[in-house]
Amino acid sequence: MNNKYEDELSAVIPFQGKIKNIIALVDKIEEDLDLARSDRGRADRTKNELEAEYKSQRELCNEQETLCQKQNEHNKKLSIDIQKYERDLGEKRIGLQSALETLRKKFGDQHADTIHEVSELEKHNQKLERESDLLIEKRQL
C-alpha cells in the first residue's frame, strides 16, 4: 500500500508542478488582462475627451466661418460704398474746379475792369486838375 501510495504520489508530483505553472501563468494573464482593461479604460476616456474637444473646436470653427462670411459680405458692401463715395467725390471735385475756374475768370475780368476804371478816373482827375489850374491862373490875372 505504501508502494501504491508512493507510485500515485510520484504521479501527482509532476502534475502539481504543472498546476503551479498553470496557476502562475493564469495569474500573469489576469494581471495582463487587468492592465489591458485599465489601459483600455484610459484610452476610452482619452478618446471621449478628444471627441468632445474635437466637437467643441468644430463648433467654434463653424461659428468663426459664419462670422467670417458675414464680415466678408459687410466688407464687400463697404467697398461698394467707398467706390460710390470716391465717384461722388471725383464728380464734386470736377464741379468745384469748374466753379473755381469760373470765379477766377470773373475775378480777372472784374480786376481788369477795375484797373480800366481807375485808369479812366486818373485821366479824368488829371484833366480836372489841369482845368482847375487854368481856372486858378485865370482868376489870378
Q: For the segment 13-58, what is each residue's pLDDT rounded down to a tens digit?
A: 888 888 999 999 999 999 999 999 999 999 999 999 999 999 999 9
Quote the percentage of the chain above a pLDDT of 90: 79
Structure pTM?
Answer: 0.49
Q: Domain segments of the chain: what residues?
A: 1-104
Instruction: Compute the distance between CA of residue 1 and CA of residue 30 in angstroms, rounded to an integer.
Output: 41
